[in-house]
């Protein structure tokens, strides 16, 4: 394990108190703060960011009401969330908290307090599925050490205007940080490792900045999946199977991916063995892949340092890589209009994986390239192609611009409203925001395809709703499903009915 995480992990675990068993936990402390000084308890850094001329649009903050709730070691964070009113700030003191936290209220700031290097630790003990789930809008989650969960460290379920920052997420199973169906969000300054799918996974989302994170020892470092208007900048991505990915998963409700800027990242030595769940989409990623762009349109790759990735520095491809995924007639499979600006690329492709070697053999090559387009797109562009070893870029032209400096952020200057129930009924919203994170229609993800679930349950949505509340592992080739008991029965039933009526 990386020495940094080992040290921090030891410190964090020392912060924990003794396990209190099933004894009644004391109620958290609620402090009502006068309106005038309430800014003291807002998410830190808003004024500094807002005053920076080059980044005024990255001034997203969670509005606060003046209510402060303090949670001490031995108390329950979830109890504090239940007591909180919209706009409350919940300060969590150092200690060990063995629970799952679900935030279904708007404008909640969940903020860990770090004292002399000691964090509040969310401890899954290898038996809990999720550390933090949020469906509320305007949620901030910061300053936690999250470890040993089976499913997710932090998962957003259709919440907009979110901030997830300054967290350690270590060995949390499938996903580290996973905003799903969210608009207008920031994922920044997190350190994440040991994830069997993606350390940071932005799914079916819009207007998201993934900036200044450190991700390593995971299958995928950063994934932008079926999302639009995403900025991936200033991240340290190393020792993963694949570094940075932008792609379409066929069969999801949102069918497109595009307008993604990947710039100023360190993408180094991503040669970790692939330890993904067998059959999952990411299990197909060749070890030694710096960047992978699959069917995502209008991706700009600029000013990255991409070195030491043994299969290839950068791969542009269609759905042919997704051997376990069905095609989707509503998703265009090619990576249209790729734009490669100035990057530093060294020592890539020195020892390609068999899948990559097979493709190279068709090109009479043995060494992996800096950049390869397996489709041979004719609408891409590249600056200074002589700098790189390339395959399949013969039809690329010269880019008409050399920088994306005019784009400071993809977050929006004003908060966006919650998703309207007029646009998405309860079942559709629950399926998009929760179920689609693991179930595509005809493609294998973490869970079985919806088409298989339809064949098993047919006209019995109640059975799906009941199973989702208290699932049992039925198939050895899929991981155990996390319980969705935090959703009320009406919502689970509506989602089940929607799933049974899916067509693609």
CATH number at residue 491: 1.10.760.10
Residues 273 and 348 in one domain: yes
Give the alpha-carbon dihedral of 51, 53, 54, 59, to 10 degrees.
30
| Residue finishing a domain among 126, 150, 174 | 150
Domains in the chain: how many in total?
A: 3
249 Cβ neighbours under 8 A, 6+ residues apart:
225, 226, 281, 322, 325, 440, 443, 445
Residues 398 and 454 in one domain: no
Residues 400 and 433 in one domain: no
What does DSSP assign to residue 63? -
pTM of the model: 0.82
Residues 101 and 244 in one domain: no
Range of the domain at 494: 426-500
Q: How far apart are CA 80 and CA 70, in angstroms?
A: 8
| Residue finishing a domain among 115, 133, 150 | 150
Residues 356 and 217 in one domain: yes
Residues 59 and 34 in one domain: yes
- Which tokens is 411 given? 């977050």
pLDDT in tens, the chain (504 residues): 443 444 334 333 333 332 333 345 566 655 544 434 333 333 333 343 334 334 334 558 899 999 999 999 999 999 999 999 999 999 999 999 999 999 999 999 999 999 999 999 999 999 999 999 999 999 999 999 999 999 899 999 999 999 999 999 999 989 999 999 999 999 999 999 999 999 999 999 999 999 999 999 999 999 999 999 999 999 999 999 999 999 998 888 888 999 999 999 999 999 999 998 887 778 889 999 999 999 999 999 999 999 999 999 999 999 876 654 556 777 889 999 999 999 999 999 999 998 888 888 888 888 999 999 999 999 999 999 999 999 999 999 999 999 999 999 999 988 999 876 445 577 767 766 667 667 766 666 667 777 777 777 788 788 777 777 787 877 777 777 777 777 778 778 877 777 777 777
Residues 410 and 361 in one domain: yes
The closest of 306, 377, 379 to 342, measured between CA atoms, is 306
| Cα 202–Cα 203–Cα 205 angle in degrees, nearest 5 | 85
Residue 190 lies in a domain: no
């Amino acid at each position: 394990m990386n020495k940094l995480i080992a040290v921090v992990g030891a410190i964090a675990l020392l912060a924990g108190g003794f396990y209190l068993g099933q004894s009644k936990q004391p109620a958290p402390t609620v402090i009502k703060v006068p309106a005038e000084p309430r800014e003291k308890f807002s998410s830190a850094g808003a004024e500094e960011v807002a005053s920076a001329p080059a980044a005024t649009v990255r001034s997203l903050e969670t509005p606060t009401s003046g209510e402060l709730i303090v949670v001490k070691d031995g108390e329950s964070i979830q109890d504090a969330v239940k007591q909180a009113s919209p706009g409350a700030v919940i300060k969590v003191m150092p200690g060990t908290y063995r629970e799952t936290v679900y935030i279904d209220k708007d404008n909640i700031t969940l903020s860990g307090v770090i004292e002399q290097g000691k964090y509040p630790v969310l401890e899954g003990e290898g038996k809990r599925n999720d550390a933090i789930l949020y469906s509320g809008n305007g949620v901030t989650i910061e300053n936690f050490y999250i470890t040993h969960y089976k499913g997710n460290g932090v998962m957003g379920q259709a919440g907009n205007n979110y901030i997830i920052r300054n967290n350690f997420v270590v060995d949390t199973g499938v996903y580290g940080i996973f905003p799903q169906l969210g608009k207008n969000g920031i994922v920044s300054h997190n350190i994440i490792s040991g994830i069997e799918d993606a350390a940071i996974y932005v799914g079916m989302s819009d207007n998201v900045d993934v900036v200044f994170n450190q991700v390593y020892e995971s299958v995928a470092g950063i994934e932008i999946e079926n999302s639009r208007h995403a900025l991936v900048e200033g991240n340290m991505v190393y020792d993963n199977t694949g570094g940075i990915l932008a792609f379409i998963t066929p069969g999801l409700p949102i069918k497109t991916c595009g307008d993604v800027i990947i710039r100023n990242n360190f993408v180094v030595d991503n040669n970790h063995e692939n330890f993904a769940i067998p059959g999952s989409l990411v299990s197909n990623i060749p070890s030694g892949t710096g960047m992978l762009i699959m069917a995502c349109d209008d991706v700009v790759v600029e000013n990255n340092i991409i070195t030491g990735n043994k299969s290839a520095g950068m791969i542009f491809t269609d759905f042919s890589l997704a051997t376990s995924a069905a095609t989707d007639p509503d998703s265009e499979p090619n990576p249209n209009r790729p734009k490669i600006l100035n990057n530093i690329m060294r020592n890539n492709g020195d020892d390609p994986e068999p899948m990559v070697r097979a493709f190279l053999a068709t090109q009479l090559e043995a060494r992996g390239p800096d950049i390869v387009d397996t489709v041979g797109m004719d609408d891409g562009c590249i600056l200074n192609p002589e700098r790189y070893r390339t395959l399949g870029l013969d039809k690329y032209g010269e880019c008409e611009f050399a920088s994306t400096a005019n784009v400071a952020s993809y977050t929006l200057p004003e908060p966006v409203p919650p998703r309207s129930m007029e646009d998405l009924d309860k079942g559709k919203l629950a399926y998009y925001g929760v179920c689609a994170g693991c179930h595509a229609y005809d493609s294998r993800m973490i869970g079985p395809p919806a088409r298989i679930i339809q064949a098993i349950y047919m006209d019995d949505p109640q059975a799906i709703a009941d199973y989702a509340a208290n699932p049992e592992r039925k198939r050895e080739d899929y991981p155990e499903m996390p319980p969705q008991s935090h959703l009320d029965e009406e919502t689970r039933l509506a989602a089940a009915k929607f799933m049974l009526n899916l067509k693609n």
